[in-house]
Amino acid sequence: MGDSHGMNIVLKIVLQRLGFGLITLFVVSVIIFVAVLMLPGGFAEAILGQAATPETVAAFNKEIGLDQPAPVRYYNWIAGVVQGDFGTSYASRIGYRREVADMLAPRAFNTLFLAGMTALIAVPLSVGLGLLAALYRNTWFDRGINMVSLVSISFPEFFIAYIAIVLLASPLVVTWLPSLAKVEDDASLGERIYRCSLPAITMTLVIVAHMMRMTRAAVINVLASPYVEMARLKGAKPWQIIARHALPNAWAPIVTVIALNLAYLIVGVVVVEYVFTYPGMGKQMVDAVAARDVPVVQACALVFAATYIILNLIADVLGIVTNPRLLHPK
């Protein structure tokens, strides 16, 4: 009876979180639309140049639908997004018609590939280092790992990216990896991995510190529990204590922080993609802002926001589902 009641509570909380997520996404869509409206200049001015007459600009804006009131444009945009239609790129209307969704698909794949490659390196590395730091607490290894993690947290992504280029892709030191991550759509898996190596290393250094420190803190917290002390008194080895007692009970906060860092990873690639000229959604968004291609900017921003909100929801739900107090209420 208690278990079913606990599951009902969990389901109710999860549904509430989903509702809040949808409301948040709606509010974010309004913010994105307003922020894009506030960009100085417009697509007509960017294409036609400063010499264009007001009449020419007005005719151009009418052709791409910018003569309509802002609320009407917002409604049309959201109505299209709900049906999976992100609109047509302004730039494509000069030449051939090009749907934003078709433009985003290969770029989204590239961004997901880079994020996935980074996650495959960063998650096992951070959990492993966190466990070792907790196991050898207050030793030179623990202090060294903490110092390196604090240094990597302190620097912004672009600084770490440039340091990585100097150390690993510069004739001054070594040229093991390419400094530019130009990946063609038909590139093989091996070529993609090779080209994405430096961006993935940069993103790993950015996010691994947070996950490692949280893993260490969660495991140390569990190691202070009475049942762990009992296992020690029974003569259990340190690795047995970690594997059988500490990690299973510390998993909830670790999984939550991993999900949150993966959310940051998807959104945080913008700067790294631009530094390495990687053909992902981040670089496409920056290029679209420069060109004032509003539908592309709005679509990229909304996809990033939706991804971040979804992964935050997953982190939240995992935290709820793994909470024994909710699952087994007294």
Q: Is residue 76 part of a domain?
A: yes
Q: How many CB atoms lie within 10 A of CB 102?
A: 12
pLDDT tens-place values along the chain, 330 residues long: 555 665 677 788 778 888 888 899 899 999 988 888 887 766 666 666 666 677 777 777 777 777 788 888 888 888 888 888 887 877 765 555 678 888 888 888 888 888 888 889 988 998 888 888 888 888 888 888 888 888 887 888 888 888 888 887 777 766 777 777 777 777 788 888 888 888 888 888 888 888 888 888 888 887 777 777 777 777 777 777 777 777 777 777 788 788 878 887 877 778 888 888 888 888 888 888 887 788 888 898 898 888 888 888 887 777 777 665 555 555
In a domain? residue 52: no
Q: Distance between CA atoms of 243 and 27, rounded to whole angstroms?
A: 43
Tracing tokens 């989903």 back to the chain, one arrives at: 18
Q: CA-CA distance, 223 to 240, in Å (whole number)?
A: 12
Domain range enclosing 268: 2-38+69-327
* φ and ψ of 70, to 5 deg: -55, -45
Rounded Cα distance, 20 and 313, in Å: 9
User: Taken in order 14, 17, 19, 22, is the CA torsion positive or negative?
Assistant: negative
53 within some domain: no
203, 265 in Cβ contact below 8 A?
Answer: yes
Please check whether residue 247 lies inside any domain of the structure.
yes
Distances (CA, A) of 113 to 37, 206, 278: 31, 17, 11
β partners of residue 99: 88
51, part of any domain: no
Q: Which residue in 98, 81, 80 sits closest to 89, CA to CA?
A: 98
Q: Which residues, including other chains, have CB under 8 Å from residue 183's CB and lie 6 or more apart?
A: 110, 191, 192, 195, 196, 278, 279
Contact 241, 293 (CB under 8 A): no
In a domain? residue 44 = no
Number of domains in the chain: 1
CATH code, 20: 1.10.3720.10
Residue 303 falls within a domain, yes or no? yes
Whether residue 102 lies inside any domain: the answer is yes
CA distance 47 to 249: 59
